[in-house]
Every structure is written in structure tokens, then in C-alpha cells.
Structure 1
Amino acid sequence: MPHINELILLARPVQETDSLIIEAPEGTRRLAATAFKGETGAQGLQGERGLTGLQGVQGLTGDQGPPGTASGIREIATVTTGIIANLNWETGTFSMANSFEILQVVLSSAARIRLYNSAANRDADVGRSVFQAPTQGMGLILDINAVTVLSQTLDPHAHGSNMEAVPSDTIYYTVTNNGAPAAITVAFTFLRKEH
């Protein structure tokens, strides 16, 4: 009987249909090839999961936008003078807003109304004739000479601001009377642009 090492090697993997015959004095024995088939190997371990990348740095905050209008609601500010003789004037102040946009001016009687951004600019321009052009950069916001039309809708609107060292809602005016002696009331319809 051949030794097991003398058996012919198969040129392929052992299959379940193969068999091994062993002859012994007791007789011939046939063993199924599966008896020699190796067990299935254990499944390999799963690889480790890679590390999560770091989160990027947060971007910088953008610049703050410019302030919008304070309310967008139309308001009315009024000036009432003492009694002024014909062609005489009165200077003074009244409260409106630090910055504003004037839409309409209504006078109670014929008069000239001028608004300025500072007391110094108002006083420097007080004697200027209605027929004389203002000096550029003198802080004049508005100059209306109403003789017959007492309600003036402004187009374009008049924009102005208090330009004193410490801004406030104080606005500086000169009112010149164009008729019989009277106390003159001027009403300004405006939008507040800055408190």
C-alpha cells in the first residue's frame, strides 16, 4: 500500500466530490474529502475609522451697515415769532432733529424763512438781501421768500443737520416779515434722520 506522501497531488483545491481510499488489512475504506477540508478562516477585523477633520475657523463678522432713518414717520416742527414789523427780522432757535429732511413749509403770513446749521452761520448771513446769492459753505439749509404762496412743497427736499461741536436737535432760523406787523408761525413737515 502506498504511503500517504506517495499519493498523487491534485492540481486544484479539494472538492466535496473527491474521496480518499485507504487500504488496510481490515479492508478498504473510503473517506469523504470534506474530512480533510480545512475550516473556514475567521473573518478579518474591520479597519479603524479615520479621524474626523478639524472644523474650519469661523469667518470674521462684517462691518455694521449705516444707520437707517429713525422712524420714517412724518413729523411737524413749528416756529412762532414775536410781532415783527414789515421788512424787519427775528433770529432764534427751535427743536427739530439732529439731522432731517424737510418736505413742506407752511407760513401763517408773507415772510422769508431761512434755516442754518449753526448760530455763527446764521448770524453771519443775517443781513443778506433776498436778491443776493448765499456764500457757498455758509451752512444755509433753507431760504424761502413767500409773498403770496404761503404753502411750499419742496422738491427736491431740503436736507439739514445741526453742525455745532456737540450736535443736538436745535436748528437756527431768521424770519423776515414781508407784510403788516405780525407774529409769524412757520410749520415744517419733516422726516427725522438722526436723533
Structure 2
Amino acid sequence: MDTAALIADDTSMTRAALDALTARRATTITAASGPGTVALAPGFVITDVSFTGAARLRLYRTAAGRDADAGRAVSTPYPGGRGLLYEYVAVGSETDAEGPVSGVIDGTDAFWHVDGGPVDITITWFPMERP
């Protein structure tokens, strides 16, 4: 993204600060299995998720939502109301890049649950302002 056009005058955010906000980040969850947390930003857009092996990753807004949905089989549709942000089943070493996924969380931790691990998972994302 070319951010030069977004800086209009001396009261605007500096170029370096704006570039830092729009910089793509890659966060790796190492040997993921079961429940855990990953630091993102209060608002984010996930552009792709890479898996080193077969696994199912689910990201949630809250620990309570993750825990309430933990036992749901992959063949059971998501019932709603549990704050699911992202779900993907990797059948091997692969990358899910089908489309961006935006999310808003309280604080900076998203809550994940991985079935089929341990596997390394890299989430590529951009921070964004919360609406």
C-alpha cells in the first residue's frame, strides 16, 4: 500500500508511524495443539494462514466462546453465538489464502483451538482500527 497520499499536512501522522500501522505481520504459533492464545491487535485483517501439517484451527473473540465450542465436530455446522472469527481444516502442509478475514477482539489476544496438532501455524495479518 502506498501511504504517501494519506499524509496531507504537518498535523497528519508521520510516514513512519503510518507505515508501521499498515505493515504486514506474521505471527507463528509453534507446536499448536488444543487451546491457546495468540497476540494480534484489537482490530485485524488476516490475509493468509499457513500450516506445516494437517490440523483444524479455530480463532475466537473470547476464551468462553472457544471453550463452549471446543467439542464441536468438524462435520457439525457452527451454531453461532460463540464469537468464532476463523475456522479452517488443513489436510497437510498448506496455506489458506482464499480471502481476507477481519476481526475485532477485546484487548490483543485471540483465543485459538487446534485439533490434530501439534503443528506450526503462521498467521499473516494487518492491524486495523476498531470500528
TM-score for the superposition, normalised by structure 1 = 0.53
SS of residue matched to 1:128: coil
RMSD over equivalenced CA pairs, Å:
2.2
Query: Structure 1 or 2: larger strand share?
Result: 2
How far does residue 149 in structure 1 lie from its aligned partner after superposition?
5.6
Aligned letter for 1:77?
T
**2:22 maps to which of 66, 72, 92:** 72
- Corresponding position of 1:158: 101
**1:107 maps to which of 44, 51, 76:** 51
2:80 maps to 1:147: no
How far does residue 135 in structure 1 lie from its aligned partner after superposition?
1.3
Alignment of 1:34-183 (within 5 A): 71-81=21-31, 89-148=33-92, 150-155=94-99, 157-162=100-105, 167-177=106-116, 183=118
Change (3 A) 1:145 1:191: same
Alignment of 1:20-31 (within 5 A): none
Provide the rounded CA distance (Å) in 1 between the counterparts of 2:43 and 2:37: 15
Provide the rounded CA distance (Å) in 2 between the counterparts of 1:78 and 1:98: 18
How far does residue 148 in structure 1 lie from its aligned partner after superposition?
3.4
How far does residue 69 in structure 1 lie from its aligned partner after superposition?
10
State the structure with more CA Rg: 1
Provide the rounded CA distance (Å) in 1 between the counterparts of 2:112 and 2:63: 9
Unaligned runs of at least 5 residues, structure 2: 1-17
Query: Which of 1 and 2 has higher RCO (CA within 8 Å, sep 6+)?
Result: 2
Instruction: Work out the percentage of aligned pairs sharing the same amino acid.
Output: 30
**1:189 maps to which of 100, 104, 124:** 124
Change (3 A) 1:191 1:74: same
- The ranges of structure 1 where at least 4 consecutive aligned residues each deviate by more than 4 angstroms after the TM superposition are none
Query: Structure 1 or 2: larger helix share?
Result: 2
Provide the rounded CA distance (Å) in 2 between the counterparts of 1:121 and 1:103: 23
Unaligned runs of at least 5 residues, structure 1: 1-67, 83-88
User: How many pairs does the alignment contain?
Assistant: 113
